[in-house]
Amino acid sequence: MYFSTLLITAALARFGLAQRWYTLQDDYSSSNFFNMFNFQTENDPTGGYVNYVDQGTAQNSGMISVQSSGQVYIGVDHTNTASGRGRNSVRLESKHTYTHALVVLSLAHMPGGICGTWPAFWMFGPQWPASGEIDIIEGVNNANTNSMTGHTTPGCSATYPASAFTGAELSSNCDTAVNNNQGCSTVDPDSRSYGAGFNAQGGGVYAMEWTTYYIQVFFWPAGAAPADAFSDNPEPWTWGEPAFLLQGGCDIDAHFANHQIVFDNTFCGSWAGAAWGGSCAAQYGGSCNAFVQENPGAFADSYWLVNSLKVYSMQGSFKRDVDKGGLEGREAAAEAEAEAAFGYQGPPRNITKEEGAPARRRRHLGEHLRGVKA
């Protein structure tokens, strides 16, 4: 059966699917990028062999810049032998904080995959770990896949079925006091998601959606991101399965709040340094700190090259429904009317309210309605 475009649009609006659920809150454009961050210069909290410098020092030494292409460069000192606290680098923390957000980052290059390095693009709240941490991009040494992790106080676990996301789960317990702070961690098996593989194919796009019900992370290689990912009206419920999903055994709002966005590139420390005894030690010998100190040229490729970074916030009646916990009832009504109007048969059995999957139910209904041809 075929329906007019007008009828489909009206149906989507009736079911709450056509409104602008996300609108742009902050655009970290190249013209104002560094003004939207604080340059953290305190000692590295992870014990890294790194000297975080201020904005003036970073600019004067060529560690940060805006390229003629409009891309933002964030690098490290790759010229001088390190001394004192360690190799010069930068740690950027956003001036704005976020509770619930859709964060979309497009990169042409990332600093991962080099022995001694520990780069990350992540978010965290005050009084860590009371307000949680979300690691969107992270890895150490010569890793070739991305790690995505949640870190919290006790009582938060990722218990949703593995079939709901594409990554390989390493640990489901987000508690920082368990498993040496491994967190609820998932690795993306796609070698294009991190380091050398990511850079070789021209970069890619990461998106993190954080709502009352779940936190999920998506990854697409360069050229493969959905067309709406950077639009004025992104629709993450149409993006398929995420690489990482934190949902089920966690009260998200009790464990995550008021996060800053962070870019950093530290060296060695409690993870990269502890993991040095593998292939990096076999290749270079000695200690992680000694290698980082004495081999500046090894880190010429240790930089972020940012195409764009945008943060979207929930708006309108959708946000009110989520905040009040009324979304599921609204979805049920939409499904009933869609069944009568368009032959909708409901979501697959593995997408149920009992499993706490409002986003997947919403996505399934939206895809069905959008699939009706004009």
**Active-site choice (42, 93, 138, 335):** 138
Task: Identify how many contiguous H helices and E strands the chain contains and give both numbers.
Answer: 9, 20
Task: Characterize the bridge pairing of strands 204-210 and 215-221.
Answer: antiparallel
Could you tell me if 171 and 259 are in contact, meaning their C-beta atoms sit under 8 angstroms apart? no
Give Cα 168 to chain centroid, integer Å. 16
Tokens representing 192 are 């294009």
Tokens representing 144 are 């070739």
Nearest of 215, 241, 236 to residue 226 by alpha carbon = 236
Calpha distance 172→308 (Å, rounded) = 31
Active site residue 133: yes
Calpha distance 43→80 (Å, rounded) = 20
Task: Report in angstroms the alpha-carbon separations of 338 from 10, 17, 116, 373.
Answer: 12, 12, 55, 15
Return the number of other C-beta atoms located less than 10 Å from residue 58's C-beta: 23
Could you tell me if 151 and 158 are in contact, meaning their C-beta atoms sit under 8 angstroms apart? no
Q: DSSP readout, 118-158? A: EEEEEEE-STTTTT-EEEEEE--TT--S-EEEEEBSSS-EE
Kindly give the interhelix angle for 327-342 and 358-370, rounded to the nearest 10 degrees: 30
Amino acid, res. 112: G
Nearest of 236, 261, 137, 238 to residue 193 by alpha carbon = 137
Tokens representing 294 are 């004495």
Active site residue 138: yes
**Active-site choice (93, 133, 328, 331):** 133
Task: Characterize the bridge pairing of strands 87-89 and 50-52.
Answer: parallel
Calpha distance 77→297 (Å, rounded) = 9
Task: Give the residue numbers annotated as catalytic, written as ranges.
Answer: 133, 138
